Structures are given as structure tokens and as C-alpha cells.
Amino acid sequence: MLRLARPRPTRQRESTIALINIVFLMLIFFLVAGTLTPPLDNEVDLITTADAERSEPPGSLFVTETGEMRANGEKVDAAGFVAAKRNDAAEAQDLEITVAADRNLPAARLVDIVGALKAAGASRISIVTERAAE
């Protein structure tokens, strides 16, 4: 008796279209669901630190090299900025302010600004810096 080998079924090639569709759907999801932060003020070069925890500065008070305070691209003063923040956070007891100061701002001027923010009612003030390139 003569035995013949059965023909093997041809394996169909898997389509990559489904994978491409999933990748594009994920891309759209992350674009829509991602957190968008406002851009940094163009006239402020952040202070550089060697070792710092990474965080984004949305809603920060930007201080230029000349000591001018800005929020959302408009010139503000310490009392007005704290009052606006207090209105935004209606029930907040501890008002936290983040300050993104220019690296060329004199330290004495930065201390004065922090003092003015404290006097206006800010309970916690954080200085935003950028991590130095290693």
C-alpha cells in the first residue's frame, strides 16, 4: 500500500491592519485624555537645580528677570494673584502657590515676592525649577 502525505493546509498571513487600527485608536485616546498644561512664559528662564522632583507648573506665578509678576500672560501683583487663586479654590484652607522665577532674578527680589505672597494670604509657596542636564 502506498502512503501519500497529506497536504498541509496553507497558513493564512495575519493582517497588520487590525494592529494599525488599535495603535491609532490608542494615539487618539491619549491625545484626548492627556493633561494639557499651559505653555511657560517665554521671558522666563527657570532656575536650574541638580536634583529635583519632576512636576508641571500649571497655574504658576511667573516672575521675570526684572521682577515683573505674570499669570496667564498678564501682569499681576501678589495680592491680586492670591485673591484670584483663593476665588478659584473656594473651599481651600491651605492656599498653595507655585512660583516660576527667572534664574537671573536677584534672590533678594525673590524673597520679597515670597514675603508679599505670604502677607497676601498664601499658606504654602513652592519654587518651580528645571532639572540641570547631567
Instruction: Give the per-residue pLDDT at 26.
Output: 92
43-73 b/e with 16+ CB inside 10 Å = b?
ebbbbeeeeeeeeebeebbbbbeeeebbbee
pTM to 2 decimal places? 0.55
Topology of the domain comprising 47-131: Nucleotidyltransferase; domain 5 (3.30.420)
On the question of pLDDT at 87 being above 60, the answer is: yes
Q: Enumerate the domain spans of the chain.
A: 47-131
Rounded to whole angstroms, the Cα distance separating 43 from 40 reads 9
Residue range 116-120: average pLDDT? Answer: 88
On the question of pLDDT at 83 being above 60, the answer is: yes
In 3D, which of 119, 134, 129 has the Cα closest to residue 46?
A: 129
Residues 59 and 98 sit within 8 Å (Cβ to Cβ): yes
Please, what is the average pLDDT of the chain? 78
Residue range 93-116: average pLDDT? Answer: 85
Helix or strand holding residue 49 (H, E): strand 47-49
